[in-house]
Structure 1
Amino acid sequence: MFDVQNLSYLAGRRPLLRDVTLRARPGELLAVVGANGAGKSTLLRLLSGDLTPSAGTVQFEGRPLRSIPPAVLARRRAVLTQQHPLALAFPVRELVLMGRYPHFRGQPAPPDHAVVQQALALVGLAPLAGRSYPTLSGGEQQRAQLARVLAQVWEAEAGFLLLDEPLTGLDLNHQHHTLEVARALVRRGFGVVAVLHDLNLAAQYADQLLLLRQGEVVAGGPPAAVLTPAHIRHAFDLDVELLPHPTLGCPLIVPVPRPAAVAPGCWPTPAL
């Protein structure tokens, strides 16, 4: 479990997070939502240990995060970041095998290669295992990176995945498939913390939501309690209506049409 108390982070003198408290538990998917610049990715980087808090504490499994040896932590939680710069022509299977590095010394064993194949099959990339990573589409690269982090914590008991915008570049089918994979992990007892932009997907798949605005918590709790018109208006400066989902027990969020945001006079006059 991640136990975060009164967490704040400053970039120079600029506060990116202020007094955030949350608990992320095994067996739950916690979605972090909010407008651009709300502090979502900063929060995930603090949970991963990439950043050091300016104030407050982050504990993982009852211990201060900073006190856990990196090799131990790497076998218990994996992180999918937004950016994946990799220009070298690694085959996809070799990229995914990188997720197994915390589990072997020297050379990978047959069980490591078996995990790689299972992770690739789970994300639907087994036929592309021999392809060069840079030749993949953006969505295929995202799925390959997901396979890598899955391979990293494949055998963990009550492990954790931290996913920063895992749906970037994915089509509608693979967006849902990725979140279905996350739900399958949750059913296995994993904890998942995912930064998501689509509120309807967050409402459909998450057990808990944390809604941020300019580095502060607007609301936290079950989707129905967090995704209210008032909370969404405060966080996104957007009026919405909530409709009952026709088949699921979650709210369906529909933006309210508003007058044109760009006045006609703002467009340049075409040259004659």
Structure 2
Amino acid sequence: MFEFTNLTYKIGSKTLLQQVSGCARPGEILAVVGANGAGKSTLLRLLSGDLKPSGGELLFGGGPLAKWPLAGLARRRAVLAQQHSLALAFEVRELVLLGRYPHFGGQPTAHDHAVVAAALAAVGLAHLAERSYPTLSGGEQQRAQLARVLAQVWEAEAGFLLLDEPLTGLDLRHQHHTLEVARDLARQRGFGVIAVLHDLNLAAQYADQILMLRQGRPVACGPANEVLTCENIHTGFGLEVELLAHPRLGCPLIVPCPRQSTVAWTL
């Protein structure tokens, strides 16, 4: 379980995150939403251990995150970053095998290769296992990176995935497939998933809890029906919306309201 209380992060005199509290539990998906610059990625980097908080408390598995040994942490939680840099032309299976490094010493075992194959199948890329990673489309590269983090925590009990904008570059079908994979991990294997999402309707459809941020401060945290209100969305995004009931799922369906243009098109 990730628990964070009054989490704050500052760079010099600038506060990027201020007194943010929440809890991400095994078996659930926590979606972090907010406008650009709201502090979503900063929060995820704090939870991953990449950044050290300026204030507040951050616990993982019942103890301070900062006291976890790196090797043990790598076997319990995996992070899908927002941007990926890869200088070498790895095959896709070789890229995914990188996620197994915390689990073997000198050479990967047959089990490690089996996990790689299973992770690729889970994201629908088994047929591209031998392709060079740079030749993939942006969406295929994103799915390959997801397979890598899945492979990293494949055997973990109550493992965690931290996903920073995991739907970038994905078409509609694969957006839903990615969130279905996350949901299945949570429901069937007891994983906890923390995902930064931009699409509020997808967050409403798949997340158990939603944390909304605005300019580094929390707007609301809780179930979709409580967080995704017209008032909160206007506060967090500066957008007028109407809420409808989803015809099949019962979650909120968010419809932006048209507004008159404020752009001056003439000189």
Residue type of the alignment partner of 1:197: H
Counterpart CA distance in 2 for 1:178 and 1:43 is: 21
Q: 1:168-222 CA distances to partner (integer Å, 9 max, x unpaired)? A: 0000000000000000000110000000000000000000000000000000000
Deviations 1:206-265 (CA, angstroms, capped at 9, x unpaired): 000000000000000000000000000001110000011111110000001000131222
Equivalent positions of 1:95-174 (< 5 A) are 95-174=95-174
Deviations 1:102-144 (A, max 9, x none): 0000000000000000000110110100011111110000000
CA distance in 2, matches of 1:117, 1:134: 19
Structure 2 partner of 1:213:
214
- In structure 1, distance between residues paired with 2:128 and 2:108: 20
For 2:239 and 2:32, the matched residues in 1 are separated by 18
SS of the aligned residue for 1:36 comes to coil
Cα deviations by residue, 1:33-81 (Å, 9 ceiling, x for unpaired): 0000000000000000000001111110011101000000000000000
Structure 2 counterpart SS, 1:264: coil
The answer for the alignment partner of 1:223 in structure 2 is 224
Aligned counterparts of 1:87 and 1:141: Cα–Cα separation in 2: 14
Secondary structure, counterpart of 2:143 in structure 1: helix
User: Is the contact between residue 87 and residue 134 of structure 1 (CA under 8 Å) also seen in structure 2?
Assistant: no
Counterpart residue identity of residue 6, structure 2? N
Question: What is the Cα deviation at residue 87 of structure 1?
Answer: 2.6
**1:9 corresponding residue in structure 2:** 9
* Alpha-carbon distance in 2 for matches of 1:102, 1:159: 14
Tell me the amino acid that sits aligned with residue 168 of structure 1.
T
Cα distance between partner residues in 1 of 2:148 and 2:97 = 7
Aligned to 1:190: 191
Q: 1-side partners of 2:148 and 2:262: how far apart?
A: 42
Counterpart residue type for residue 202 of structure 1: A
Could you say what secondary structure the match of 2:249 adopts? Answer: coil
- Alpha-carbon distance in structure 2 between the residues aligned to 1:262 and 1:157: 53
- Measure, in 2, the Cα distance between the counterparts of 1:150 and 1:119: 6
* CA distance in 2 between partners of 1:88 and 1:240 (Å): 45
Separation of aligned partners in 2, 1:189 and 1:39? 27
Percent of pairs with identical residues: 74
Superposition RMSD on alpha carbons, in Å? Answer: 0.7
2:236 paired with 1:235: yes
**Which runs of 5 or more residues in structure 1 are unaligned?**
267-272
Q: Which runs of 5+ in 2 are unaligned?
A: none
Q: Which residue of 2 aligns with 1:175?
A: 175
User: Are the equivalent residues in 2 in contact too, given 1:212–1:235 (CA < 8 A)?
Assistant: yes
Q: How does 1:250-261 map to 2 (within 5 A)?
A: 250-261=251-262
Which residue of structure 2 aligns with residue 45 of structure 1?
45
Superposition TM-score, scaled by structure 1 size: 0.97
Aligned partner of residue 124 in structure 2, secondary structure: coil
Q: Which amino acid aligns with 1:176?
A: H
The residue number in structure 2 matching 1:34 is 34
